[in-house]
Amino acid sequence: MLSPTVSLQKINPNTSATEILKSAKLSLKLGRFQQSLMIAYSAVQQDPNQQQMYKNHYIQVMRLGAEFAEEIEDHHKAAYYWEQLTKQIPNDSDAWYGLGIAKANLQDYQEAIIALNQALKLQPGNQKIRSMLIEIQQIMAG
């Protein structure tokens, strides 16, 4: 298996797309999000049939990136990652909720309300989303 720190220039043209993907996953486990995506993309270049695999990997990277950014309170990065997720999977209420929280943490309350409304539209009975939406609306009113 390739080392996760291998540069893309060193990937052997004979390396299978499966092996390249294993390296991308290992790189992701090490928290190297960009490198993981670049390695996974090289698997698609080698084998175009791997496009769905790349999309799934991309979604996983964006979700982990958002969660990590939230943990370290990097709200700009969290918003970026959640936004990428909403573009890839627009029916994911968790992604919209995450984007709403990140935008609220950035004090971009208008965008937070838009994202939370979308999350609530996808999950009308979700009290956590509804409560957050009401809280942000009160902040704006107050």
pTM of the model: 0.82
**What pLDDT sits at residue 8?**
47
Averaged pLDDT, groups of 10, the chain, 142 residues long = 50 76 84 86 84 91 94 96 97 98 97 98 97 94 86
**What pLDDT sits at residue 79?**
98
**What pLDDT sits at residue 44?**
84
For 83, the token pair is 């936004």
Tell me which residue has tokens 């290992």: 26
CATH class of 75-142: mainly alpha
* CA distance linking residue 69 with residue 76, whole number of Å: 8
* CA distance linking residue 30 with residue 15, whole number of Å: 21
Pick the closest to residue 78 from 57, 106, 59 (CA basis).
106
What lies within 8 Å, CB to CB, of 7 at 6+ separation is none
Q: Domain segments of the chain: what residues?
A: 1-72, 75-142
**What pLDDT sits at residue 32?**
87
